[in-house]
């Protein structure tokens, strides 16, 4: 990806003091530009077995006896370039905490229950129009110790791969009108206010399924003036 194709202020700084851990892990030397691999062909075949059955429905993970607890939602959107052209057959991974605000990870030990029927991760491929879709539960906010009364807004992590695994972009999707936005240094590490709003999904009555799922849309633009902030 060409970083100079993304306007200044869209991507967060690699070291953002209010987000304390970036001070310790952020690079201290200038970044190096590497030549990208050959571009992905529009006719690339879907890799066999890359996405397994059930990985687009996080509420019914394989090996679990029941359904996840929480507000069931469907998230859908398109991945495009700066000209609105679809990014086809792109591998997307998602991960999130459960409805109580806890990740299924040994390092997450805060006092919230684990859901035995929710692992919190999945993956999918974009289709010929660059569209993706998955079913999950709305994640809860959680404390993270960055500062006094630090709670993360509800969010879902997205990882997008190019034609090789070294080409990977990571972002976060938030939910509309979250009162924690003003207090979250990760969300606010994106300098441009308009770019921050591109991290917020849109409620969709069209995608809402009657008595079953609430719908949200989250489009991802990889380059240009409307690029989605990455590196979060």
Query: Cα 155 from chain centroid?
Result: 8
Candidate list 72, 88, 155, 196, residue with the active-site label: 155
Question: Two tokens at 117?
Answer: 């029927």
Candidate list 142, 196, 198, 216, residue with the active-site label: 142
Candidate list 11, 16, 19, 103, residue with the active-site label: 103
Candidate list 104, 157, 168, 223, residue with the active-site label: 157
**CB neighbourhood size of 48 (10 A):** 6
The yes-or-no answer on residue 103 being catalytic is yes
Candidate list 72, 152, 196, 198, residue with the active-site label: 152
Q: What is the DSSP string of 144-171?
A: --SSTT-EEPSEEEEEEE-SSTT-EEEE
Query: What are φ and ψ of residue 197, in 5° steps?
Result: -65, -20
The yes-or-no answer on residue 212 being catalytic is no
The yes-or-no answer on residue 105 being catalytic is no
The yes-or-no answer on residue 142 being catalytic is yes
The yes-or-no answer on residue 155 being catalytic is yes
**CB neighbourhood size of 78 (10 A):** 18
What DSSP character marks residue 23? Answer: H
- CA dist., res. 160 & res. 115, Å (int): 26
27, 231 in Cβ contact below 8 A?
A: no
User: Which residues form the catalytic set?
Assistant: 103, 142, 152, 155, 157
């Amino acid at each position: 990806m060409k970083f100079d194709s993304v306007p200044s202020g869209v991507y967060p700084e690699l070291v953002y003091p209010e987000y304390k851990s970036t001070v310790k892990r952020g690079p201290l030397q200038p970044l190096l530009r590497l030549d990208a691999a050959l571009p992905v062909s529009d006719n690339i075949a879907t890799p066999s077995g890359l996405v397994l059955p059930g990985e687009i429905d996080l509420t019914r993970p394989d090996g679990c006896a029941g359904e996840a607890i929480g507000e069931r939602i469907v998230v859908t959107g398109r991945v495009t370039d700066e000209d609105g052209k679809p990014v086809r057959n792109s591998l997307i991974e998602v991960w999130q905490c459960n409805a109580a605000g806890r990740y299924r990870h040994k390092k997450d030990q805060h006092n919230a229950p684990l859901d035995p029927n929710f692992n919190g991760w999945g993956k999918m491929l974009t289709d010929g129009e660059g569209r993706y879709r998955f079913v999950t539960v709305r994640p809860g906010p959680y404390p993270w110790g960055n500062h006094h009364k630090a709670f993360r807004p509800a969010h879902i992590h997205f990882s997008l791969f190019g034609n090789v695994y070294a080409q990977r972009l990571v972002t976060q999707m938030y939910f509309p009108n979250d009162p924690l936005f003003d207090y979250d240094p990760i969300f606010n590490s994106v300098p441009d206010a308009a770019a921050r709003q591109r991290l917020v999904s849109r409620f969709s009555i069209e995608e809402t399924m009657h008595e079953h799922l609430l719908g949200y849309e989250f489009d991802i633009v990889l380059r240009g003036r409307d690029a989605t902030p990455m590196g979060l």
